[in-house]
Amino acid sequence: MPVVDLAMVPLRSLNADLHKLPQNTNETHWTIRNPGGKHALAVGLDAPVTVEIEGHVGYYCGGMNKEATIVVTGNAGVGVGENMMSGEIRIKGDASQAAGATGRGGLLVIEGDASARCGISMKGIDIVVKGSIGPMSAFMAQEGNLVVLGDAGEALGDSIYEARLFVRGAVRSLGADCVEKPMEAADRAALAGVIARAGLSDDVSPDEFKLYGSARTLYHFHVDNASAY
């Protein structure tokens, strides 16, 4: 199983090797050492392999991921899992801003905290944060589930279209058109499913969460506002 030391091997060559992997590759487990906060590590993967990164990564780690499982033992910089399509990314430490931004599918698990704009414009991804999330998270979210075991910062779900936001702790404030909603059976099932996939079924119960989502009042232009223009 390949072990790549980024103190010796250029990042571009590692990413190129990962891109070349066929669907049926036998090299299914990669270990990356000395990531040193480098940007765009393991982006654009398109094969069912596991990439384990030992240390802290920079911007956009695992961006556009398809099928691959990426585990980072340290922290992740801005935009981890940006626009991921499927597969799983797990960050053992904290994530910086815009974690899972515009993600379309797959599962992103952050075991520490995520800072501002977590899940911004999410479009189908499931994001689980074991710690807390920063301000302006799920801004303009469209689809998917954001599950937060800790607290949420200011303006959660501002201008949200759809998507379910489950928060166990306190929410500092809700953004425009984001409201608390009753949890229906389908919501609970979705939450339980995400919790199970993240491996947290023994740690938390869906009953501990509150659900936030779109009030749908911004979907259409309201004629009463015409005089404002």
Partner 1 sequence: MCGIVGLFIKAPELEQDLGRLLSAMLETMSDRGPDSAGFAIYGADKADLVKLTLSHSDPAALERVAGALDTHLGYPAERTIRSNHLIVSVRRADEERARAFATGAGLRVVGAGKRMEIFKEVGLPIQVAEQFGLAGMSGTHGIGHTRMATESAVTTNGAHPFSTGRDQCLVHNGSLSNHNSVRRELTREGLSFETENDSEVAAGYLTWRMREGASLREALEESLKALDGFYTFVVGTENGFAVLRDPVSCKPAVMAETRDYVAFGSEYRALAGLPGIESAHIFEPEPAKVYAWERA
Q: Which residues bind partner 1 (CB under 8 A)?
A: 36-39, 56, 58-59, 75, 77-78, 93-94, 96-97, 115-116, 134-136
- What 3-state class would DSSP assign to 224? helix
As measured in angstroms, the least distance from the Cβ of 80 to partner 1 is 12
Nearer to partner 1, 86 or 159 (CB): 159
Amino acid at 227: S
Of 79, 83, 82, the closest CA to residue 95 belongs to 79
Nearer to partner 1, 103 or 135 (CB): 135
Nearer to partner 1, 65 or 97 (CB): 97
As measured in angstroms, the least distance from the Cβ of 115 to partner 1 is 5
Question: Position of tokens 């072990």?
Answer: 3
As measured in angstroms, the least distance from the Cβ of 8 to partner 1 is 15
Residue 61, token pair as written in the block = 């780690």
Nearer to partner 1, 138 or 195 (CB): 138
Q: Are 31 and 12 in contact (CB under 8 A)?
A: no
Judge residue 192's burial from the number of C-beta atoms within 10 Å of its C-beta, 0-12 exposed, 13-18 middle, 19 or more buried: middle
Of 90, 84, 121, 119, the closest CA to residue 104 belongs to 84
As measured in angstroms, the least distance from the Cβ of 134 to partner 1 is 8
Rounded Cα gap, residues 53 and 61, in angstroms: 10
As measured in angstroms, the least distance from the Cβ of 64 to partner 1 is 21
Of 3, 72, 63, 1, the closest CA to residue 36 belongs to 72
Nearer to partner 1, 96 or 145 (CB): 96
